[in-house]
Amino acid sequence: MAEKRKRARRDGGLTRQRILAAATKEFAAKGLEGARVDEIALRSRANKNMIYHYYRSKDGLFQAVLEEMYGTIRTHQGDREIENLSPAKGMRVLVESMFDVFHRFPDFVSLLQSENLAKAEHIKSSARIAALYNPLAAILGGVLRRGSADGVFRSTIDPINLYVSIASLAAYHISNRYTLSALFGTDIGSARAVRRRRSHVVDVILRYVRNASEIARAAPEGPVSTRSY
């Protein structure tokens, strides 16, 4: 009997994973309003009644998808590592990891667009997502304070504003890839363009946080090259 219950829990867990994976693709492609539970059931090889049993409604399923995705994003964001690094190195790791995680999980950007249209009602009702992000401001603030104390970072930087700037710079080229590519006649999402974008974003943020005297000390002697790569 115990083995039977164990197998049922395992099978139930696998079914939930399939449902969430299928729902993520459906919501990312069509948005919350356009997504269809019938299509999610078909993709996940789960019956529709089972989906409603687990998640109660389409909104409940969308919230579960957001919770899963936020958990994945937070795991890869790298901010837990930065407390053990020098402030400058920690900030670089944070910016690089945030850029990389948006690039690795572009569906997250699409899901955020739907959630903003819903005025974040699913995030507001999720204790899990709030718990994931509660430590972030404190960790980022701690790195900024250490950098300021060491004389390498400016002392007036707000951690929340900084996080918003990093996230914006890391995600804008994903959410607007097609319009930007059409406007400028180039593939913003090509591997080469993404590498250049990553380098640019890291440079912008690191230059912003650095103390003016630190920037002057690190500046190369002679004229600055304007060559474009």
Q: Report the chain's mean pLDDT, rounded to a whole number.
A: 89
- CA 150/CA 153 separation, integer angstroms: 8
Query: Coil, strand or helix: which one is 153?
Result: strand
Q: Residue 1: its pLDDT value, please?
A: 59
**pTM to 2 decimal places:** 0.85
pLDDT digits over 57-116, tens only?
A: 999 999 999 999 999 999 888 777 788 899 999 999 999 999 999 999 999 999 999 999
Question: What is the structure's pLDDT at 220?
Answer: 55
pLDDT tens digits for 190-222? 999 999 999 999 999 999 999 976 655 655 554
- Sign of torsion over alpha carbons 37, 38, 41, 42: negative
CATH number of 63-218: 1.10.357.10
- The string of pLDDT tens digits covering residues 4-44 is 555 545 556 899 999 999 999 999 999 999 999 999 999 99
What topology is assigned to 11-56 in CATH?
Answer: Arc Repressor Mutant, subunit A (1.10.10)
Query: CA 142, CA 215: separation in Å to the nearest integer?
Result: 21
pLDDT band, residue 227 (cuts 50/70/90): very low
Written as six digits, the tokens of 22 are: 């299928």
- Domain coordinates in residue numbering, the chain: 11-56, 63-218
SS (H, E, C) 83-148: HHCCHHHHHHHHHHHHHHHHHHCHHHHHHHHHHHHCCCHHHHCCHHHHHHHHHHHHHHHHHHHHHH
